[in-house]
Amino acid sequence: MPRTLPDLTHKALRRIRPLAFETNASFVERLARAHHLTTTEFLNGLRIYRPKISPAREHDYGPHTPTELYLNVGARACISQYTGIPETHLAHALPCWKEHRDRGSASETRPGGAIRPSDLPAVIGCPHCTVARTGQARPILRYLPHHRLVCTRHRTWALGPHTLHGVPVPHAHALLHQTPEIVLAHNAHLRLTRRWGPDADDAIAQAARLTEHWRRHAPKTEQIWPARARLIGNGEDASMWEALAREAITYPETITLARLLIRQPSTRYHRTQPDQPHPLHEVVARLLNRRWLQNPVHYPQDLSHYIRYAPRHPIDGTAYRHHTKPIGHKADTIELTQLGYQPPRPRVKRHGTRGR
């Protein structure tokens, strides 16, 4: 029997508002929890039928696959009415609010929905901001776009989901208190995004692929990236943090390089012979203050595929910043050993050796 729910008159319930970029599943779960109900019980209470779990894709579910609750038009109307939050507000805050493949209007549709793996990558938002906004420490999954991964106020970087030998790595954030250059780079990132919109995303994605290539193949003389990993990890297993927070570690160089790519179309890298010097190598080495980057051997052979940027026009970025979604199609978990991380072997205590 479906339960009926009380009106949202209670002060605590009224405080439940969607956070920007929150997943639908998280928002509905928070509403349910405020009633001390499970999500299914809460939906039943609103006469929303049990969401279907997409059978064709059930094999996609793993211990680390985030699933999303896609509500149909009828169910969305129910929740909007119940919470008193206009649908436009919900759609503005929740990137996947209207992602259900609706057939028919609200009046023709039986309220329901579907549960399936999320198409967008989600991360856990800044824990301090979450507490300030919700009054609870429970982590909240959000589809933060790349330029929102850093919280400058609390100096955190939201990491994606990682596993080590298939087991989730218990770190959702990198702390940036000792690496102010990453926070500064974030401000430059926001300026680029404001000015260039999707073109900035494009240039940054290309620059990030290059800096990640360099980080993984850097010569022993490269000191800055390993040092940043040590600072971020606060002395704890620097090589793990170098893999885990790799995007943060190369972020200042990524943003510097992206600015070069976006502002100077003449730096576009046209096809050259592999391993042959190119004027761009000199420019990049100087810009990133790394002499080893003068050497063509450190550049991927298909560099013309990495750099294919042609700037269009600056944009009015206000609308873009508020509406943009993260880039990427699948919320994949990344296995640290596939990033080249080999955990140190546990130390075995030697017992009394003969002759001692």
| Chain residues that interact with Zn ion, rule: CB under 5 A | 126, 128-129, 151, 153-154
The nearer residue to Zn ion, 45 or 139, going by C-beta atoms, is 139
User: In the complex, what is the shortest distance from the CB of residue 156 to Zn ion, in angstroms, rounded to a whole number?
Assistant: 6
User: In the complex, what is the shortest distance from the CB of residue 48 to Zn ion, in angstroms, rounded to a whole number?
Assistant: 33
What would you measure as the largest C-alpha separation in the chain, in angstroms? 87
From the DSSP assignment, how many helices (H) and strands (E) are in the chain? Answer: 15, 11
User: In the complex, what is the shortest distance from the CB of residue 245 to Zn ion, in angstroms, rounded to a whole number?
Assistant: 17
Q: How far is CA 178 from the centre of its chain?
A: 22
Q: Which residues make beta-bridge pairs with 141?
A: 124
The nearer residue to Zn ion, 153 or 330, going by C-beta atoms, is 153
CA-CA distance, 191 to 196, in Å (whole number)? 9
The nearer residue to Zn ion, 142 or 281, going by C-beta atoms, is 142
Stated as kind and residue range, the H or E segment containing 167 is strand 167-168
The nearer residue to Zn ion, 125 or 252, going by C-beta atoms, is 125
State the burial class of residue 275 (Cβ atoms within 10 Å of its Cβ: 0-12, 13-18, 19+).
exposed
User: In the complex, what is the shortest distance from the CB of residue 133 to Zn ion, in angstroms, rounded to a whole number?
Assistant: 9
The nearer residue to Zn ion, 114 or 129, going by C-beta atoms, is 129
The nearer residue to Zn ion, 51 or 160, going by C-beta atoms, is 160
Q: Tell which residue, 336, 324, 7, 353, has the closest CA to residue 165.
A: 336
The nearer residue to Zn ion, 95 or 127, going by C-beta atoms, is 127
CA-CA distance, 205 to 105, in Å (whole number)? 39
User: In the complex, what is the shortest distance from the CB of residue 154 to Zn ion, in angstroms, rounded to a whole number?
Assistant: 3
Q: Tell which residue, 290, 148, 283, 170, has the closest CA to residue 225.
A: 290
User: In the complex, what is the shortest distance from the CB of residue 75 to Zn ion, in angstroms, rounded to a whole number?
Assistant: 31
The nearer residue to Zn ion, 149 or 240, going by C-beta atoms, is 149
User: In the complex, what is the shortest distance from the CB of residue 179 to Zn ion, in angstroms, rounded to a whole number?
Assistant: 16
Compute how many other C-beta atoms are within 10 angstroms of the C-beta atom of residue 183.
Answer: 18
DSSP state of 236: S
Q: Which residues make beta-bridge pairs with 71?
A: 113
Assess contact for 152 and 183: CB atoms under 8 A. Answer: yes
Q: Alpha helices of the chain — where are they, by DSSP H?
A: 11-14, 24-34, 39-45, 73-83, 87-93, 127-134, 180-196, 198-216, 224-232, 238-244, 246-249, 251-263, 279-287, 303-306, 317-323
User: In the complex, what is the shortest distance from the CB of residue 319 to Zn ion, in angstroms, rounded to a whole number?
Assistant: 24
User: In the complex, what is the shortest distance from the CB of residue 130 to Zn ion, in angstroms, rounded to a whole number?
Assistant: 8
Assess contact for 233 and 142: CB atoms under 8 A. Answer: no
The nearer residue to Zn ion, 126 or 255, going by C-beta atoms, is 126
Q: How far is CA 108 from the centre of its chain?
A: 37
Q: How far is CA 356 from the centre of its chain?
A: 55
CA-CA distance, 211 to 219, in Å (whole number)? 13
